[in-house]
Structure 1
């Protein structure tokens, strides 16, 4: 519990953590972990998100421990880190929802694409050619994300890349497909306006 760490002992622990003392860090961790988890849970309403953010916050504290010598209030320092991580997570979720909406819109458009002579083989041919033109990693991410319905986090783990890299690949693949189909809209394929 937070109350178990007095200001004087907290300052002593911080000095020890700056030196790399893992036992002192562990004491800070156990002193603030529960309170911080409750705080983040109230913001996220998700135990998993709260656990991830709290873990990331403490990892960042450890990585930035050289700054702790200047910290007047460790609780404020820790909670600001966690709050910023929560805001980043919310931005990431909003961005992911936006990308998913774009994919849904593209999916709707792709479903509405009709070959001029109603020749579905031509449509599938163009779609296959567009996907084949993607760089290998983008193609793989696109196939896993949209055709296999995998989540970005799972794709990142499978391909040993970050979620941000997965999102970038999806965004770039989406942009390319849109341009590719637009290129053919005057020739053989007409994109429905939606």
Structure 2
């Protein structure tokens, strides 16, 4: 006398799978109607989205219909269906999380690139304004400013190079900064900071 395995698929499930393998549409439709609502509710509990839950359940039934010959359902059909829905729902949530992380990473990168581009544009505008303001200074004063800010020379070195007194150098620098502030208006403070950065 042969003993049935304790966890063998019930006879009705075996008959069901045979009918589906033989492409019996009526049997499949009855099978679909019997389990659809239960499986949808289960999927929805996991994913929390109607469309996603419907898609998960539909995909499972389509897979069973298309690949019935390859499926090896060893236990009860209901257990197979519920386990498949849980796995598919967890995979969906994993993909959603990965996609969300990718989108966030992309948005952060885009924001960073936009911010960098804005910063470069602002610097270009500031430098242009600075050049225009420097161009309005008297020649000697402008030369002193250039040697100090861009040439990075000390005041005594400027005096020696231009053959003028240290006091004259200081006067030119004081006058130059005052005129730049007047010319640059509200952006003057930012440009003064820029000049100090250039000096370093």
TM-score by length of 2: 0.51
Mind listing any 5+ residue stretches in structure 2 that lack a counterpart? 1-9, 126-200
Provide the aligned C-alpha RMSD in A: 2.2
* Alignment CA distance shift 1:70-1:46 (3 Å): closer
**Quick one: distance in 2 between partners of 1:86 and 1:28?**
21
- Provide, for residues 126-180 of structure 1, a one-character-per-residue CA deviation record: whole Å limited to 9, x for no partner: xxxxxxxxxxxxxxxxxxxxxxxxxxxxxxxxxxxxxxxxxxxxxxxxxxxxxxx
Number of residue pairs matched? 114
The reply on whether 1:115 has 2:120 as its aligned counterpart is yes
Instruction: For 2:90 and 2:122, locate their aligned partners in 1 and report how far apart those are by CA, in whole Å.
Output: 50
Structure-to-structure mapping, 1:99-178, within 5 angstroms? 99-113=102-116, 114-115=119-120, 118-119=123-124
Aligned residue for 1:33? Answer: 36
Extract structure 1 runs of 4+ deviating beyond 4 A: none
2:101 is aligned to 98
1:56 partnered with 2:59: yes
Residues 43, 69 of structure 1: alpha-carbon distance in 2 compared, 3 angstrom cutoff:
closer
Cα distance, 1:9 vs structure 2: 3.7
Aligned partners of 1:40 and 1:50 also within 8 Å: yes
Tell me by how many angstroms 1:119 deviates: 3.6
> For each residue in 1:31-73, what CA deviation from the matched residue of structure 2 results, as whole angstroms up to 9, or x when unmatched?
1111111111111222221111111111111122114565431
Q: In structure 1, list runs of 5 or more residues that go unmatched.
A: 1-6, 121-194
Q: Distance between the aligned counterparts of 1:54 and 1:31, measured in 2? A: 13
Does residue 79 of structure 2 align to residue 76 of structure 1?
yes
The alpha-carbon distance between structure 1 residues 16 and 10, as it changes in their structure 2 partners (threshold 3 A), is same
Give the 3 Å change call, closer, same or farther, for CA 117–49 of structure 1 in structure 2: closer
Q: Could you tell me how far 1:95 is from its partner in structure 2?
A: 0.9
TM-score (norm 1): 0.52
